[in-house]
A and B are shown apart, each in its own frame.
Chain A
Amino acid sequence: ETGVTQSPTHLIKTRGQQVTLRCSSQSGHNTVSWYQQALGQGPQFIFQYYREEENGRGNFPPRFSGLQFPNYSSELNVNALELDDSALYLCASSIPGRHTQYFGPGTRLTVL
């Protein structure tokens, strides 16, 4: 148990729709990172939030956006879904400087 939860566990959407994925971090973990893992691939960094501000972004288009809240929860929003957005989405929380990241179980998104 990492203390990081994600919801929903599975989700099916159609192309063009919008989706919101949620992550709840451990108390005190004010850094959260989101990753996309396509089938058979390693996770790819989407972005990171620290104290409710974006703190770095990977090579993902602006239709991927996020929010972090004071209660250590966060959201990943994806607009105008494309088939290639089908993947496992992982969030990971950490305390800056501690290096260890605690992963949630992931949300598996399928876009039809």
Chain B
Amino acid sequence: KNEVEQSPQNLTAQEGEFITINCSYSVGISALHWLQQHPGGGIVSLFMLSSGKKKHGRLIATINIQEKHSSLHITASHPRDSAVYICAVLSNFGNEKLTFGTGTRLTIIP
């Protein structure tokens, strides 16, 4: 079992729909990252969370430390949101290495 599990693996939705991507982890963490990866490979950091909720534009990220679960929400989705969304956790001991989920491929259809 992977330390970081994401669901769904693939998600196709119509423009305007509300999107939720889930992430569960099994290790103690000091922070959780939501990352966006477009075709071509570049990774952009969307959020870094250690508790509660963060909002940036149409994106909202929440984390429940007790349940070891985080969600990324996209409101009023748009075709330009199509990308792979990756959850990654920073362990709370040792060096600051990220452990990644396998990603959720999101496709928004106009």
Contacts and interface: CB of A to CB of B under 8 A. Distances in A.
Given A42-B86, A42-B101, A96 B96 contact: yes
B100 interface: yes
A94 B96 CA distance: 9
B95 interface: yes
Interface string A16-27: 000000000000
B41 interface: yes
Contact of B42 (A33, A42, A56, A106): A106
Nearest to A58: B97
A33 B98 contact: yes
Contacts of A99: 30-31, 48, 50, 90, 96
Contact of A33 (B30, B35, B97): B97
B7 interface: no
B94 A56 contact: yes
A14 B22 CA distance: 39
Contacts of B4: 42
Interface string A76-112: 0000000000001010101010011111011010000
Contacts of A103: 35, 42-45
A33 to B, nearest CB: 6
Contacts of B96: 31, 33, 48, 94, 96, 99, 101
A81 to B, nearest CB: 19
Which 9 residue pairs of A and B lie closest in terms of their CB atoms, listed nearest first?
A: A56-B95, A42-B100, A106-B41, A103-B43, A105-B42, A99-B31, A42-B102, A45-B97, A88-B41
7 contacts: A2-B44, A48-B95, A48-B96, A58-B97, A88-B41, A103-B42, A106-B41
Given A33-B98, A58-B97, A100-B48, 15 more contacts: A2-B44, A31-B96, A35-B98, A41-B102, A42-B4, A43-B43, A43-B100, A44-B100, A48-B95, A56-B95, A99-B50, A101-B96, A103-B42, A105-B42, A106-B43
